[in-house]
Structure 1
Amino acid sequence: MESVLIKRQGVKPKYNLLTDYSYRQFSGNCYYIKGIEIYNLIKEAKLYYPKFDLWYFGKVLPGLSFQNRKFLIEKRDTDIAGIAIIKHSLNEKKLCTLRVIDNYQNRGIGIKLFERAFEELETDKPFLTVSEEKYEQFKRIFDYYGFKMTSKKKGLYRKDKYEYFFNEFSK
């Protein structure tokens, strides 16, 4: 079982957002992974977020350079078992995305990613949202951590679909 953190390695004059990322195992070893590899593991989110590509390539990857976004990765042997994307800025502590790979679901990977996100964001009540279709899948873990639904918005990302907001005002 291995937890890893991924962040941008120094800005180069000419760098490729899809290839120039590394992650480090907490024991200090450094490994390399391409930004496109992470994208391929989480791109199913486009079903619920039509502008997912713009967000990922326009905000997430550049945010790694500015160090206000991080990838958290859970590995099992050589496989990526789960991924979380967090945003930690002066105004926001947000768990943006969390995905456990199908073969690794119901094995505690999601809990591990939530716990790592809490540590990195320095809060156990990060701001997050979830689509109405995914709400039931996450409800049990939200209840477990005592997350409070603070609002819901219809049509935010897709016509006639709700997005549920949690911990909007937590610090």
Structure 2
Amino acid sequence: MAYKIQMIDCFAKDDVNLYDEIRELTTPCNASYAERSRWLDETFFPGLKDGSRKIVIALDEAGKLAGVSLLKDAKEEKKICCLFIRQDCRGHGIGGKLIQKSLEALDTDKPLLTVSDRNYPQFAKLMKLHGFKFSYKKKGAYQENDTEYYFNNQATEILQKEILAPLFAGSFRKKR
């Protein structure tokens, strides 16, 4: 089956039905991200108006939403906020196509991405294939009993390379 990949980089009244479809398609994400609905309404969709948010969608041959990537494209952060594929469309390469288009839309090959421990097994192969680099994990970031895995966190890389490495290197030098 052929899928059509499209990017939406601004709010359009004509796309309101699509926004509702995205909300419906990504409902299972509520299990890992309790505030997802509020985030969509108060942060994500309004961000389409100011240009800080973008959407990449995959449509099946019937024009039905098969997958979505919700992006943050701000000066301070470039992030794949949500990547979701419709259950019956999984295993057909849509995730990879959405990631590729997301990287283009964000103009980076190292966007921030977080994945809950319960969803990580589904994403591990895809993330490895696209070069996502593990940065750290945090328990309770979004759900009290879940652990969130962070990938491509540049602040973590800067901290490790420019601050911690020289600090620790100095502490291991022999004193004269």
Q: TM-score, normalised by structure 1?
A: 0.84
The structure having more radius of gyration, on CA atoms, is 2
The CA distance in 2 between the partners of 1:21 and 1:40, in whole Å, is 18
**Is 1:98 the equivalent of 2:83?**
yes
Please point out which of 25, 28, 33 is paired with 1:41. 25
User: Which residue of 35, 46, 59 corresponds with 2:43?
Assistant: 59
Q: Which residue in the other structure is 2:97 paired with? A: 112
Whether 1:2 aligns to 2:8 is no
SS of the equivalent of 1:133 reads coil
Q: Is the 8 A contact 1:81 1:100 kept in 2?
A: yes
Please tell me whether residue 75 in structure 1 is matched to residue 59 in structure 2.
yes
Q: Which has the higher strand share?
A: 1
Q: Corresponding residue for 1:145?
A: 130
Corresponding residue to 2:116 among 131, 142, 153:
131
Per the TM alignment, residue 63 of structure 1 is displaced from its structure 2 partner at its CA by: 0.5
Q: How many positions carry a matched residue from both structures?
A: 152
CA distance in 2, matches of 1:36, 1:120: 22
* Structure 1 unaligned residues grouped into runs of 5+: 10-19, 23-31
Shift of 1:80: 1.2
Q: CA deviation at 1:21?
A: 4.6
Q: Which one has the bigger helix percentage?
A: 2
Pick the aligned partner of 1:168 from 153, 173, 176: 153
Q: Distance in 2 between matches of 1:69 and 1:99?
A: 16
For each residue in 1:91-127, what CA deviation from the matched residue of structure 2 results, as whole angstroms up to 9, or x when unmatched? 1110000111111111010000000000001111110
Contact 2:79 2:113 (8 Å CA) reproduced = yes
Runs of 4 or more above 2 Å deviation: none
Q: What's the C-alpha RMSD, in Å, of the aligned pairs?
A: 1.6
